[in-house]
Chain A
């Protein structure tokens, strides 16, 4: 029992707040009408908004001619892809959507509830939108099916992630696999000419080579060779021959004067072919040469065996001229960002290097490309690439476009990665060095993983920009989403339907970009839960 002075109350009961502190009226007062200028502003804005909304709804539901969208839906989505093969587009979508769902589930495996309220609301709006949008009935149903597939795979991914802990490290490899499969489905053609086959050959050869190598190590063959004088000289000769064999074909075709060719060749031979084997210790050299030979042999064997199977295995080949619409946009964006990644990281590292030549070249590359408009690079690609190549070599339009997009994006990505690298304190590389880790190891194990994690928001922002930049390819003649819309609008039947068509694809772009920025925030959170 506390003692109190005679005039102060013992306990002050809490009394209810004055009226109009809470409740909808109070909220309105606080947020919309609290001062005279705010009241005025609210009134003006409300009037303007209401007029605008009424005008938009009036236009959208009465005046607009929405026929242009459902009538040309296939064109918007996949361009001039043959109608009979359109199921392949759906298959591709299905594979990617499933993988996206699994990724989502895996990354969110530690969350208590996978499908939170906001997600369910989002999904609900999405499905409602799919029904309201001017789409053809079957497409709308199929798309809703895709949404369901995503959710199912997410659930499956979460279950899988909870059971096996280390699956996240395989995510990038899995996505690369999905990309190769998608490319195969899209382009068709003999499976032996596809990226998937190339990847499979490499992986298989590595696996075979490692098996053979383990056997050899068991019988101490490697040590025997490196100990034996004849053996080590054989290894050195193999290295010399191999590096020359890889270099000469490329070099032979270069259009440079002979003295320069000779100087470069001699320098190359001196450093790479002759000096490296002297510098490296015997065991490393033997290991490398043996492993590389096994790998090469494996690739060769697989290719030969595959070629023995006659005829064509695979889907009907669809040339790149027939790719278009949203499919082409997505393909260009994804390929562009995938290719620009290694180049961008290299340039960022080069810019931070202490070697003046490397630093200067990187800065020159980055600043030159960042200083010019993208459209000039794309046009340069379309118009000038044939001029830089020998007579008769005419790369595909899409290849030129991808080269342009990749060059452009890599310069911007380099700056984003550089920011991430700068955020790593110097002490990290000092600690690694003091533990004996050499430069390549420090980079790959310590510096780059941390830098890339920090740079994820900027990298995803770059991807969103790249996705939006694919629209510029419409001006250079490719029929990606914007380009094909313009072709459709050129049809006299749909003359003047600009607003309808543009609004439709604007919604598509908006949906993808917004989803990506949401996804980036989720990825960041998911990776940070490791902490």
Chain B
């Protein structure tokens, strides 16, 4: 069976993608974080993410889910616990932080494209300046990525001239240009009009199929059911329940999970 066939069968069975590896690329152990005003946003969260796995993090607003995944690429510092990305520990070590950020890509809710640069320039900026690639090389790779997300025709336009869905796809291509090992998605479709959500989710689906390790914070239940290997629920800074999508949506164990699901399903 070809890889595509296998994934299709697995998806229709509601089982996890058979491509999950055995090594944990993200190891987060007892992570605790306090904001400057003293608020304890993460109260001891542990999560292991394996290579090729797609983990969806859900939860009510204020549960700390965005903050948690932002600790994975050192955008948010944490005070207690230990996070290791692909063997590199995230600490105050400057070199480590640099390395982690090269291995982890992130897609934001507000896209955060650079408005003063064209789409192509947005995608080639980091490879040229951080990975020190030559401009022509970077542009070739960028064009391939843009084609993959379906934006090739707009390569020389500015972000302000594009719709939200198109911008988010460019943002995905921009992160992929750095050839990361892990992709983080922080509510990527929450700021989009409904008709554009589909195109972005399709790109994310394709990415998952190609074996990328992904951690997504999202409210898109359909995506979670079909693509995720694991769904995790966070509430009030703690990890409440984690399970396969099937089990999670059909058979929630915890009360808080049941309450949350009753609100979104």
Direct contact between the two chains A and B in their complex (CB within 8 A): yes
A residues with a Cβ closer than 8 A to B are 425, 427-428, 430-438, 441, 445-446, 449-450, 453, 530-531
Q: 19 A-B pairs, CB-CB below 8 angstroms?
A: A425-B110, A428-B112, A430-B108, A431-B114, A434-B105, A434-B106, A435-B101, A435-B105, A435-B125, A435-B130, A435-B178, A436-B101, A436-B126, A436-B178, A437-B130, A445-B125, A450-B115, A453-B116, A531-B115
- The residues of A that contact B73 with a CB separation of less than 8 Å are 434
Q: Are B116 and A435 in contact (CB under 8 A)?
A: no
Q: Is the CB of B112 within 8 A of A531?
A: no
Top 3 nearest A-B pairs by Cβ distance?
A431-B112, A435-B126, A427-B112
Which residues of B have CB within 8 Å of A436? 98, 101-102, 126, 130-131, 178
Instruction: Check A450/B116 contact, CB under 8 A, given A427-B110, A430-B75, A430-B108.
Output: yes
The answer on a CB contact under 8 Å between A434 and B101 is: yes
Given contacts A431-B108, A433-B101, A435-B101, contact A445 B129 (CB under 8 A): yes
Chain A: minimal CB distance from B131 (Å): 8
Query: Interface size bucket, B side?
Result: 20 to 34
Q: Is the CB of A433 within 8 A of B130?
A: no
- State the CA gap A300–B125 with chains docked (Å): 36
Mark B123-141 against chain A: 1 for CB-CB distance below 8 A, else 0: 0011001110000000000
How far is A433 from B108 in the complex, measured between Cα atoms in Å? 12
When distances are taken between beta carbons in the complex, the residues of chain B under 8 Å from A425 are 110, 112
Are B101 and A446 closer than 8 Å at their CB atoms?
no
- Does B174 make an interface contact (CB < 8 A)? yes
Q: How far is the CA of A427 from the CA of B175 in the complex (A)?
A: 14
A425 vs B178: C-alpha distance when bound (angstroms)? 23
- Rounded to whole Å, the gap between the CB of A179 and the closest CB of chain B is 26
Q: Is the CB of A441 within 8 A of B129?
A: yes
Bound complex: CA A453 to CA B158 (Å): 16
CA distance A530 to B102 in the complex (A): 31
Query: Is there a chain A Cβ closer than 8 Å to B104's Cβ?
Result: yes
Task: Tell me if B126 and A437 are in contact (CB < 8 A).
Answer: yes
Say whether B21 faces chain A, with CB atoms less than 8 Å apart: no
Tell me, in angstroms, the Cα distance from A531 to B110 when the chains sit together: 19
A428 nearest in chain B by CB position: B112
B161 at the interface (CB under 8 A from A): yes
- When chains A and B are docked, how far (Å) is the Cα of A72 from the Cα of B76? 68
B184 and chain A: residue at smallest CB distance: A434
Partner of A438, one of B98, B114, B115, B125: B98
Shortest beta-carbon distance from A291 to chain B in Å: 16
**Which residues of chain A are near B175, meaning CB under 8 Å?**
434-435
A199 nearest CB across to chain B (Å): 27
Please give, as numbers and ranges, the residues of chain B lying within 8 Å of A433 by CB-CB distance.
Answer: 75, 101
| B87 close to A (CB within 8 Å) | no
Q: Other CB < 8 Å A-B pairs besides A431-B114, A436-B126, A441-B130, 17 of them? A: A425-B112, A427-B110, A427-B112, A428-B114, A433-B101, A434-B75, A435-B101, A435-B125, A435-B126, A435-B178, A436-B101, A436-B130, A436-B131, A437-B130, A438-B98, A450-B116, A531-B158
**Residue with the greatest number of chain A CB neighbours at <10 A, chosen from B101, B104, B108, B116:** B116
**Closest residue to A429 on the B side, CB-wise?**
B112
In the docked arrangement, what's the CA distance between A369 and B70, Å? 41
By a CB distance below 8 angstroms, the chain A residues around B174 are: 435
For residue A158, give the distance in angstroms from its CB to the closest CB of chain B: 22
Question: Distance in Å from the Cβ of A60 to the closest Cβ of chain B?
Answer: 50
Which of B193-225 touch A at CB < 8 Å?
none
Q: Is B81 an interface residue (CB 8 A)?
A: no
For B171, list chain A residues within 8 Å (CB).
431
Q: Is B160 an interface residue (CB 8 A)?
A: yes
- Please name all residues of chain B whose beta carbon is closer than 8 Å to the beta carbon of A434 when the two chains form the complex: 73, 75, 101, 104-106, 108, 175
Q: How far is the CA of A428 from the CA of B75 in the complex (A)?
A: 12
Contact B129 A449 (CB under 8 A): no
Residues of A within 8 A of B102 (CB): 436
Distance of A428 Cα from B113 Cα, bound (Å): 7
B75 proximity list for chain A (CB < 8 A): 430, 433-434
Query: Which chain B positions have C-beta within 8 A of A450?
Result: 114-116
Bound form: Cα–Cα A437–B125 in Å:
9
In Å, the complex CA distance between A224 and B106 comes to 38
Give B243 Cβ to nearest chain A Cβ, in Å.
29
Kindly state the separation between the CA atoms of A445 and B114 in the bound complex, as whole angstroms. 10
Residues of A within 8 Å of B106, CB to CB, are 431, 434
Q: How far, in whole Å, are A446 and B108 apart by their CA atoms in the complex?
A: 17
B114 touches A530 (CB 8 A): no
Chain A residues in 8 Å Cβ range of B126: 435-437
Q: Which residues of B contact A437 (CB under 8 A)?
A: 125-126, 129-130
Shortest beta-carbon distance, B128 to chain A, in Å? 10
Q: How far is the CB of A446 from chain B (nearest CB, A)?
A: 6
Most buried by B among A436, A438, A446, A449: A436
Question: What residue in chain A is nearest B105 (Cβ atoms)?
Answer: A434
Q: Which residues of A contact B130 (CB under 8 A)?
A: 435-437, 441
- Mask of B219-263 contacts with A, CB within 8 angstroms, 1/0: 000000000000000000000000000000000000000000000
Give, as a whole number of angstroms, the nearest-CB distance from A448 to chain B.
10
Cα–Cα distance between A434 and B112 once the two chains are bound (Å)? 11
Q: How far is the CA of A120 from the CA of B217 in the complex (A)?
A: 59
Give Cα A437–Cα B131 distance, bound, in whole angstroms: 10
- Nearest CB of A to B82, in Å: 21
A530–B112 CA distance with the chains assembled, in angstroms: 18
- B115 partner residues in chain A, CB cutoff 8 A: 450, 531
Cα A434 to Cα B172 in complex, Å, equals: 12
- Asked whether, in the complex, the Cβ of B129 is within 8 Å of the Cβ of A427, the reply is no
Residues of A within 8 A of B158 (CB): 530-531
Interface residues as binary, B145-157 with A (CB distance below 8 Å gives 1, 0 otherwise): 0000000000000
- Residues on A with C-beta less than 8 A from B105 are 434-435
A residues near B101, Cβ cutoff 8 Å? 433-436
Contact B108 A449 (CB under 8 A): no
A435: nearest chain-B partner, CB-CB: B126
Tell me the B88-118 residues at the A interface (CB within 8 Å).
Answer: 98, 101-102, 104-106, 108, 110, 112-116
Instruction: Give the distance in Å from the alpha carbon of A427 to the alpha carbon of B101 in the complex.
Output: 16
Give the complex CA separation of A231 and B70 in angstroms. 42
- Interchain CB contact under 8 A, B129 and A531: no
Nearest-CB distance from B209 to chain A (Å)? 23
Min distance, Cβ B247 to any Cβ of chain A, angstroms: 32
B24 to chain A: closest CB distance in Å? 21
For A428, the chain B residues whose CB sits under 8 A away are 112, 114
Q: State how many angstroms separate the Cβ of A106 from the closest Cβ of chain B.
A: 18
What separation, in Å, do the CA atoms of A437 and B114 have in the docked complex?
13
Q: How far is the CB of A268 from chain B (nearest CB, A)?
A: 21
Question: What's the least CB distance linking B256 to chain A, in Å?
Answer: 30
- In the assembled complex, the Cα of A449 lies from the Cα of B158 at a distance in Å of 15
* Contacting residues, chain B, for A430 (C-beta < 8 A): 75, 108, 112
B176 to chain A, nearest CB (A): 11
